[in-house]
Every structure is written in C-alpha cells, then in structure tokens.
Structure 1
Amino acid sequence: MGKQHLLAVSVALIIQGISLSAYADDTTPAELKQLKAQIDVLQKRFVQLEQKHNTTLSTSDQSEVTHTEFTEDGEGTELVAREVTTDDIDGLKGDIENFKYDHSRQYERQTVKSARDTTLYGTVQVRASYQDEGTTAGNPAPVGERKSTFDIPTALIGLRGNLFRDYNEGKNLDYQLSFSYAKQTGTAGNNSNFNLQDAFLRYNFFSTNSGLEQPRLNATLGQQLIPFGLEAQSPEDLRPTITQAIAPVQLGLTARQNGLIVRGDVKPYVDYGANYRAPLLEYAFGVTNGNGINKTDDNEGKDYLARLAYTLPVDYASIFRELKFGVSYLKGKNNVKNDGVLLSDHGKRDILGFDIYYNHAPFGVTYEYIQAKTEKATPVNELVDTTAEGHTFTLFYTLGDQFYNSIKSNAKFDDFWPKSIQGYYRYDNYNPNKDQDVVGVPGNGWGEYDKHSLGLNFFFAQTTKFQLALNHTKYQNETSSQKDFNEVVGQFQYTF
C-alpha cells in the first residue's frame, strides 16, 4: 500500500467526521449509533493498512544488506542487494536480444555449414633435396647441372563424415572425399590442378558403438587405397619414411583404384587400460577396375584381390605384442601394347605379397616381399612372361612417449604433446624382370637396384613432424642413364 493511498483514506475519514458533526443535530439516536459503528470499522481498517505498510517497509530495508566478498589478494568488495526494477528487467532483455542477433549473424556469415556431419582434414609435405647426380622426375638421368630442388610432393585436402548415423546399433553409412595435386608415384606434378583421390561410401554391417571387443565388418564402394601388403594401404600422413617403398610404387599398388572392397576382423583382443585393440584375424577382399586413378575400365578384365593378416593372441604386456603376419594376392588383366598398338586386352597380372609387422614400442621391424608375374610384348609382337620382385625391410627405434596408447588417452592441453624422436633404417631391393629381356624391361636382373636409407623423424607436435634422410641408390649394372647416387632429403609434414 503506497503513501498516496493512505493519505486518501485519512482525508476521507476526516471529511466523513465533519459531515457527521453537521448532521448530528437533525438525526435520531438510532441513526447516529449506526454511523458511529461504521466509523469504528473504518478506523480498524486504517490501522490494519498502516501496520501492513510498516511491515513491508521493514522487509525492504532488511533486504538491502551489504555483503563483503574477499578476493585472492585479500581486498574486500562490497555487494549491495536491492530490489529489481522494471528498467533492470528491460535492460537484461535488451542484452539477450543483442546477443542472439550477434550470434546468429556470426553463424550465418563466418561458419561453414553442411547438411551432414563433416570433418575437414589434409596433409601437406614441404621438401628440399640434394643429390650428387642429376635427376628428372625422381629417376636418375642427366639433366644438366640440376642436383637440388625444393618441391611439394603432396598437398591433399579432404572431407569425411557420415550420411546416416545409427544411434542404436552403430551401423553407420560414412563417406570420404579428397583431392590432391600429387601423382600416384608420390612426386609432384607439373601443374597445380587438384585431382580426385578418395571418393567412396562405406557401410558398417556390424555395430561401431558397442565396444572395442566387437568384430568389424564394412563394405567400401568407390575410389580408394587397396588392401595389399603394408605400404600400399598406408595413407599419406602415416607413411614412416620420406619416400615410398620401390616395389609397390613400380607395380602400381599404391595407386587408388575404383571398385568394391569388403574389410573386417574377428576375435579382437582388447586392453582398455592401454587403449589397445588387436584382432586375431583381419581380412579383406574385393574387385576393382585395376587401371589406376580417375579412369573407367579399359578392358573386360577386373582385378580381384584378397588379404589375410594374423596377429599373435597375446596380452599387452607380452614381448610379442603386435606381431602380425599378412599375405596378399591380386589377380587381374592388363592391356599389352607395343609402340601404341594393342596386342592383348587380357594380359597376365598376378601379384603375390607376404609381410611381417612388429611394432612393440619403442622398437619395431617390418618386412614386405612382393612378386609380380605379368606379360610383356617383344619386338616381334609376341607375349612373354616377366617376373618382377621386391623386398623392403625397415627397422626403427623411438625415443619418447608419443606412440604409447596410454599416453594418447591421457588428458592434456590441446597443444601439449610429448615429443618423440624416431631413427630408422630401410633397405629396398627391386628387380623389374628376373626372366628374359623384353623391350623396355631388361631381363636377367639387368635393371635390379638397391636403396639404403638412414633417417630421422622428429615428432614435435601431434600432427607435425620433421624428417631427414640419407639415401644411397646402387644399380646392379650402371649405364649412362642409371648411375649410383647419394641423396640427402629434408621434409616437413603437417596434417590437420
């Protein structure tokens, strides 16, 4: 009750009292008694209203209490509580509306939007090299005095995500799309046009959110890396050395192919404490065009491939942890030409591979053997068998904690990552033809050569590493176009 209302009541009572005094001379005693009763009632109401008003004022005064809060340096800050006014509420509403407008405007103008879940990723390699013999396109051959160069061997950018997320069973439909200007051999092209790399859909037949101990099974349709051996199925950001193994590159196994591939595993061993999962058996099989990236099939033949890998069923603490044996096989057909003339569209192309993988941090060993039987054309347009063979052996040792799964699962700041230094040695041997001579492919081991690499990988951030390698290439038979040479290569690789 406000003060103005109390004043109005008082004035009304005074006026009524004056009116009663003037009226008393002409009224009967009964009427006068009735009027006095009404005045008593009004007086009681006035007293009640006055008491209620005083109580409200007393409560308001008590609410305006001064509180003192102390900061870390000991200084006190006084906070005075007061009643919230209409202006305060209107001001808060205005601030909320301004925030909503600014947030909506920034989301519309500064945020990349997608209709589905999307992750942007990429890999870039920045390289400098020097060798004591001139080269062209990475192959030993005299090209004037050029012995050193700066180049970008890989620049890849892509998107991945899912088109359908199964929240109940985890049978998701995923996609991946990437572009790169690098050639399939890993050397840079002569232009900056981006070419399609990965472009596929992947459906998971088994649950992906029911735990690590569940088996995996998925089918991938589109352009993708093929599951053959170790090197061929390693993406750009996970390759351990600066240059790729020779045999998979020369035989076209590192090239992405168009087709359908099914991958899965059974009986995985899981150690949740170390974030470790090792399937007893991994398998893959599929069919592809077999003629390389971004091409439709050029013959009626298809490449059929299969891979099986067995991991020793031991626990995480065992010395044989992550000891894996794999075997791969590819059977396909290729076009055989002589001076541009097609001699056969169903030439033999059978490739067999065997590999051993042992990665027990801090040390590890890998070995891969590949044998390819193909048909080539002679000068008289005959088809003859050729046998290519390659060996790749890699030994590495790591100082630091970056590759321990237990370290990866620890909570840490975004830009804190334990640094690691990894030294490695790689031996590569490749013989393009163990059989008789064929035009363009000298036989009897004439084109065989070895490559020794001594390298150092310095992982100084979660997604960035510096690599340094000393390479020595030695030919079984030197010619004017293929001479032994030494090379030093430095490379920064960063991913996002």
Structure 2
Amino acid sequence: MKKIFTQSLFVAVATSFLSLNIQAQENKALEDRVAKIEGITSKLPSISGLVNGRFQYSDAGDGSNSFDIRRARLDLRGNLSSKFDYRLQTELAGTPKVLDAFLRWKPSSYFNVQAGQFKYSFSLENPYSPTTLETIDNSTVISKLSGYSDEAKVGGNGRDIGIAFYGGFVKKKGYNLIDYSVGIVNGNGINNTDNNKGKNFTGILTVNPIKELALAVSHYNGSTGVTKKDADGKDFIDDVDRVRTGFGAKYDNKTLLVRGEYITGKTDKKESDGFYVTAAYYVTPKVQPVLKYDYYRENTDKDTQQTNYIAGVNYYPIKNLRLQLNYTYDTKEDRTKDVNRIAAQLLVTF
C-alpha cells in the first residue's frame, strides 16, 4: 500500500511539473509573439489629422459671405529608431498637395538634422499650426514676408524644401536657455524644384531667460527666380532678392499669452515692413478671448500701410474641437472705405 502511494505521489508530482513546464513554454512563446508584434507596430506611423470649416463675411465692395472647407489634412508620423523619425502631412482641401515630408536625425539635444519639405526657421509665429494659432488668420507681416502670400510671389504655407540644423544649449528645467535653427532651402515654396542657381539661408536664434519668456531674432537671405519677358517677348528667369529680418518676443504662462514681432523685408527693390501684437487669456480652461493689433506696409516709400484691429474668442467645448470667432476692422491708407470682416471657424482634430 505504501509503495502504491509513493508511486502515485511521484506520478502526480511529475505530471504537475510537466504541466508547469509546458505552461511556461506556452507563456514564453506568447510573450515572444507579443514582443514581435509590438516591435512591428512600434515602427508603424501614427495617423492623425484635422478638418477645418469656415464662414467669412465682408462688407468690402458689394459685400460677400461664404462657407468653405479651408483645410482637410492627414498626418502620418513614425519612428524608424530612437534617433530617426519622419513625417508626411498632406492637404486634401482644394488641390491635394504634400505639406510636410521630412526625415529627422536626433543624435542629441544640441544638434539635430531635418531634411525634406518643412516649415523653415523664420519668425516666432511661422511654426504655429492651425490648431495652436490664436487668431483665424496669420498676421499680415507673416503672410507677406514668410512664405504664405509672399511679396516674392512664393506661396508655401511658410514651408520650403531643403535641410535644417537645430538644437538647444544650457538645459534648464523644461526648457533651454538658448535654442537655434538654421537651414538652407530652395526658396521656391512647396513641391517645387529650385528655379535659380542660388540657395536661400534661413535661421532663428531664441533666448529664453525664463521658461515663460522667449526673445528671438530671425533672418532670411536669398533670392527667387521670377519669370519675366525680354524685349522680344520671350520668357526668362530673373533673380529677385528676398531678404527678411525679424525681432520678436513672447510671454506665455499657459494662461496669459502676449506675442509680438517686427519684420522688415526687401523683395527686389521694394522694401516692406510690419509688426503685430497678440494678447490672449484663458478666462476659463475652455474660453480664451484674443486681441490683436496687425500693421503692415507693403512699400515703405509709398502710402500703403494697412492696419487690422482684431477681437475674437476661442472656445474648446471638448478636447479635439475648437470654435473660433474673429471680428476685424481693416483700414488701409490708399483705400477710400474701411472694411469690416467677420470670420467663424470650426476645427476638429483626430
């Protein structure tokens, strides 16, 4: 009887051990499969985007009012490794086009490289996206001298094709004392090859005395090829100088924002300048009133100054939804009638 009990106990222990061993092997195989899947999915791009509907009213001329889909963007971002990432952003509203397409190498916080099509390094406002800009439209001086509806007839949403180097020095708690970004670009906007033999330089240096305060100087120097006609009526490419210099300051403590910039530019033989001051304050976490003074001179040798007085409010009912309302009183020296404009914008992100 004792022998039978011992044999039974041995069989039970052996069976339990074998069962545990099989279970451990199955768990290890499952963990390996999960790790393999996670390794694959970690290299897949994250997909996000935004849809932007807008209503505009103006009493200029006979008056106008219209709805439109201003933006419909799809944004893919991913990591090739811990030091390489990429982005591909497309605009589907209107004529579909690529906005951003770049690869970044990030070996350290001091020195990083970005190559492809991207927003170039000029001004404090240009890097803002539609989801973060306080007003519905960019400041006029940014639009005219930073590659949106540029005086050089280059339109690229503040973007170009080239290579940039950026980083920061003197690490503080949550920010750098000094940030820099410099680049070499074609100077011909997005999705275009260069149309002259020169390359354009762009750069910005930002000093942050405290986390909430940024003081910046930026510069753009180069030329753009413009199609003209010779005496025989034949087209030729003429190089037009495109030089801009900007000085800006920003204070942002996440409740109060004040940002201003002065930018001067030379396009061929015409000199332009302008400045803006934006102030915004969160009265509640969901409501942000905004005021902006926006001044621009298309030609400093003529009476072409335009001033926009803007009042608005941003409302965030839920995380991925923003409603904006702007009123603009638009005055211009060479225009007989001032203009009133109202714009409302709905922006949804996903």
- TM-score normalised to structure 2 length: 0.81
Pair 1:268-2:171 in alignment: yes
- 1: distance between equivalents of 2:116 and 2:104? 9
**Structure 2 counterpart of 1:492:** 346
- 1: distance between equivalents of 2:134 and 2:110? 26
Pair 1:394-2:248 in alignment: no
1:434 to 287, 294, 300: 300
- Equivalent runs, 1:185-196 vs 2, <5 Å: 189=94, 193-196=95-98
Which residue identity is paired with 2:158?
A: A
- 2: distance between equivalents of 1:280 and 1:341? 53
**Structure 2 counterpart of 1:222:** 116
Contact residue 307 and residue 328 of structure 1 kept, 8 A: yes
Shift of 1:362: 2.1
**Structure 1 counterpart of 2:56:** 129
Identity score, percent? 29
1:255 and 1:342, CA in 2 relative to 1: closer, same or farther beyond 3 A?
Answer: farther
- Equivalent runs, 1:23-62 vs 2, <5 Å: 48=1
Contact residue 297 and residue 306 of structure 2 kept, 8 A: yes
Shift of 1:245: 1.1
**Structure 2 counterpart of 1:174:** 85
Contact residue 335 and residue 342 of structure 1 kept, 8 A: no
SS of equivalent to 1:164: coil
- Equivalent runs, 1:222-301 vs 2, <5 Å: 222-253=116-147, 254-270=157-173, 277-301=174-198
Pair 1:203-2:67 in alignment: no
1:359 and 1:252, CA in 2 relative to 1: closer, same or farther beyond 3 A?
Answer: closer
Shift of 1:244: 1.1
- Equivalent runs, 1:312-323 vs 2, <5 Å: 312=209, 314=210, 321-323=211-213
- Equivalent runs, 1:9-24 vs 2, <5 Å: none
- 2: distance between equivalents of 1:267 and 1:311? 10
2:77 to 144, 160, 173: 160
Any idea what the Cα deviations from partners look like across 1:339-387, whole Å, max 9, x if unmatched? 6865663322111011101112421210011111121xxxxxxxxx110
**Structure 1 counterpart of 2:223:** 333
SS of equivalent to 2:334: coil
SS of equivalent to 1:247: helix
Shift of 1:216: 4.2
- 1: distance between equivalents of 2:207 and 2:89? 31
SS of equivalent to 2:250: strand
- 2: distance between equivalents of 1:205 and 1:147? 52
- 1: distance between equivalents of 2:283 and 2:265? 37
Equivalent residues, number: 314
1:194 and 1:115, CA in 2 relative to 1: closer, same or farther beyond 3 A?
Answer: farther
Shift of 1:458: 1.0
Cα RMSD, aligned residues only: 3.0
Shift of 1:337: 4.4
**Structure 2 counterpart of 1:116:** 43
1:299 and 1:495, CA in 2 relative to 1: closer, same or farther beyond 3 A?
Answer: same
Contact residue 301 and residue 346 of structure 1 kept, 8 A: no
- 2: distance between equivalents of 1:456 and 1:222? 36
Which residue identity is paired with 2:341?
A: E
Higher RCO, Cα 8 Å, sep 6+? 2
2:258 to 365, 375, 394: 365
- 1: distance between equivalents of 2:123 and 2:317? 29
SS of equivalent to 1:399: coil
SS of equivalent to 2:141: helix
Which residue identity is paired with 1:353?
A: G
- 1: distance between equivalents of 2:182 and 2:86? 20
**Structure 2 counterpart of 1:421:** 287
Contact residue 57 and residue 63 of structure 2 kept, 8 A: no
Higher mean displacement: 232-241 or 465-474: 232-241
Shift of 1:255: 2.8
Contact residue 122 and residue 146 of structure 2 kept, 8 A: no
Contact residue 306 and residue 330 of structure 1 kept, 8 A: yes
Q: Which has the higher strand share?
A: 2
- 2: distance between equivalents of 1:157 and 1:356? 32
SS of equivalent to 1:326: strand
Any idea what the Cα deviations from partners look like across 1:227-282, whole Å, max 9, x if unmatched? 11122121232212111111121234343100001110011211xxxxxx121000
Shift of 1:460: 2.1
Which residue identity is paired with 2:105?
A: Y
Any idea what the Cα deviations from partners look like across 1:185-240, whole Å, max 9, x if unmatched? xxxx4xxx42111000000021xxxxxxxx34311000000111122121232212
SS of equivalent to 2:201: strand
- 2: distance between equivalents of 1:324 and 1:297? 33
- Unmatched 5+ residue regions in structure 1? 1-47, 57-99, 101-112, 134-141, 166-171, 183-188, 207-214, 271-276, 315-320, 376-384, 401-418, 436-443
Contact residue 119 and residue 160 of structure 1 kept, 8 A: yes
Q: Which has the higher helix share?
A: 1
Contact residue 458 and residue 466 of structure 1 kept, 8 A: yes
Which residue identity is paired with 2:125?
A: E
- 2: distance between equivalents of 1:448 and 1:467? 27
- 1: distance between equivalents of 2:326 and 2:144? 21
- TM-score normalised to structure 1 length: 0.58
